[in-house]
Amino acid sequence: MRLTPSRSVSRPLSQGLVPLLMLGLCAGSGGAATATPSPEATRIITVNSHVSNRQIALNQPVRIEFTTMPRQVANIDIETVVGNSLLVNSSWRLLGRPSVVEHEKTKTITIGVALLPRTVGSLALPQIPVSWLQGDQAAEFGVVTVANGVLVGSETKDLPKETAGVAGFPWGAHLADLKTTRIADNLIEYLADRAIARPQPGLELIFRGGDLSEAVVAAPGLTIEQARESFFSRWGLPQIEEPNSISWILGWTRITATTPGGDATGVKLTIAREDILAKQNQTAVKDTVFDVLDGARTPPAQVETEEQAKERRKHEAEEFLKMQKQAPTPKAEEPVRKP
């Protein structure tokens, strides 16, 4: 997987950081990190760090690079520690994997991460634990201001409509509400884990847990090369590029353009809301795992789908007709003769 950096992301600072850090180690303060007292159990420390940009658009990544003293705790997988600490965060999304360099001569450690904002406004960058140093410590990196728009070239444009919904259907809309007003029942396919509505040719709306969480747009006569410039003009530079796939991440909205590869043509655009999907995953884990462990409640009754209800009514009707055919025909009563 190749990550496409934003134009505002600066080059790594590995060169030049090590001499500065070593100068700090010899300055008499006791190290490259200065501990700051905190009422919490975790001590917040200041590290030799660089943040690529303090003012960004919603589609711009921020790169943080910081250097710490040599490891003081053995058998710590620094990449895993840093990556896991950034998974659960409502303001930032980890882009790719952290980079970790342990310098051979000085033994100091330089860590780099790329983050994408989930929302707009003034956002505090996440604290990162430094578990490879003694004591329960974490580094902090200040605040970044995220503009309410996307960067396209050198211009910040308004957020595209896809961040709020697709084809006039808002993200999180309830299928139960839409199928009585905007989507005919015969345009909905019910599957075990989702329902797929096709309100117009080339568009699929995917409902999980009854809520709109994904959409698929098919353009069978288009190639990715034909669409690339138009896509870039609408969503800016992509954050992730893979063979036959390009992805843009705009806050909680993920847009992925894929092609079948080979000589086949056609572009499939998949748009997903990662916050809705994450919430549904958390609910599924709670219902199937945590509630069982906690003994919180009995398993919920299975909700009958429309297709299951039709099959049940059909079966009941067939059974009724079968019983009617098997029942003996009652004899006609003879008329009572008067004496």
Same domain, 174 and 139: no
User: What is the domain extent for residue 42?
Assistant: 2-157
CATH of the domain at 186: 3.40.1000
* Cα–Cα nearest to 172, from 180, 164, 161, 181: 164
Residue 241 half-sphere exposure toward CB, CA atoms < 13 A: 10
| ∠ Cα 87 91 93 (to 5°) | 45
Cβ atoms 73, 133 nearer than 8 A: yes
- The two tokens of residue 9 are 């992301």
**CB count, 10 Å around CB of 128?**
22
Say if 195 falls within a structural domain: yes
Same domain, 172 and 139: no
Q: How many residues make up the chain in this entry?
A: 339
- What CA–CA distance (Å, rounded) separates 236 from 248? 8
217 vs 1: which has the higher pLDDT: 217
Beta-carbon contacts of 99 under 8 Å, excluding residues fewer than 6 positions away, are 12, 79, 111, 112, 113
**Residue range 25-53: average pLDDT?**
62
Listed residues 238, 272, 306: the one ending a domain? 272
Number of domains making up the chain: 2
- The two tokens of residue 296 are 């919180």
Say if 294 falls within a structural domain: no
Indicate whether 336 pLDDT > 90: no
Same domain, 69 and 170: no
Same domain, 192 and 218: yes
Q: What integer pLDDT is reported at residue 283 of this predicted model?
A: 84
**What is the b/e burial string over 4-18, where b = at least 16 CB atoms within 10 angstroms of the residue's CB?**
ebbeebeeebeeebb
- What CA–CA distance (Å, rounded) separates 64 from 52? 7
Listed residues 239, 256, 272: the one ending a domain? 272
327, 328, 330 from 333: Cα distances, Å: 18, 15, 9
Same domain, 144 and 8: yes
Same domain, 59 and 181: no
Same domain, 152 and 165: no
Same domain, 103 and 143: yes
Say if 240 falls within a structural domain: yes
* Percent share of the chain, pLDDT over 70: 79
* pTM exceeds 0.75 for this model: no
239 vs 292: which has the higher pLDDT: 239
For residue range 74-128, list pLDDT tens digits in order: 999 999 999 999 987 889 999 999 999 999 999 999 999 999 999 999 999 999 9
* Cα–Cα nearest to 103, from 149, 58, 48: 48
Say if 91 falls within a structural domain: yes
Indicate whether 20 pLDDT > 60: no
Same domain, 7 and 152: yes
**Residue range 262-275: average pLDDT?**
87
Same domain, 11 and 143: yes
Reduced DSSP (H G I as helix, E B as strand, rest coil) percent helix, strand, coil of the chain, to 5:
25, 30, 45
Say if 259 falls within a structural domain: yes
Say if 291 falls within a structural domain: no
Listed residues 129, 157, 185: the one ending a domain? 157
SS3 label, residue 99: strand
Least confident of 27-41, 105-119, 159-173, 215-229: 27-41
Same domain, 18 and 148: yes
